[in-house]
């Protein structure tokens, strides 16, 4: 796989995203939430820094969801039996997705606070 042309490597990446979409309901849910966040940006029209923060947060959530799915699939393949270490690995990956999702909610909350409270729209 090393030293492949960029176009081929890009194809692998797109294929990985497609597998995530097809195989993982959580990835589809996170993608739907990302679309809602992007629509909120279009509606609120915040300064560019907020666009960057939200875009970065969306990318982190979706990327970590793919990493979580990949690690879970690999662990299941290598050790299909129920085992305490397998559970710990899966739980830690789920925890990582949860933490970045909470951070995403924090960014969204800060954006709304900035747009409505600090801007004086709401008392």
Known catalytic residues? 65
User: What does the DSSP 8-state code read for residue 121?
Assistant: S
Q: How many CB atoms lie within 10 A of CB 23?
A: 12
Contact 107, 54 (CB under 8 A): yes
The Cα–Cα gap between 27 and 22 comes to 9
30: nearest Cα among 97, 109, 108, 107: 97
């Amino acid at each position: 796989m090393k030293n492949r042309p960029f176009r081929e490597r890009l194809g692998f990446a797109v294929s990985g995203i497609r597998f995530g979409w097809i195989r993982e309901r959580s990835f589809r849910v996170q993608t739907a939430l990302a679309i809602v966040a992007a629509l909120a940006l279009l509606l609120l029209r915040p300064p560019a820094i907020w666009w960057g923060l939200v875009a970065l947060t969306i990318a982190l959530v979706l990327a970590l969801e793919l990493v979580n799915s990949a690690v879970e699939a690999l662990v299941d393949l290598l050790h299909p039996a129920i085992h305490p270490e397998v559970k710990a690995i899966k739980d830690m990956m789920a925890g990582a997705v949860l933490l970045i999702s909470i951070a995403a909610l924090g960014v969204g909350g800060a954006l709304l606070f900035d747009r409505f409270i600090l801007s004086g729209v709401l008392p």
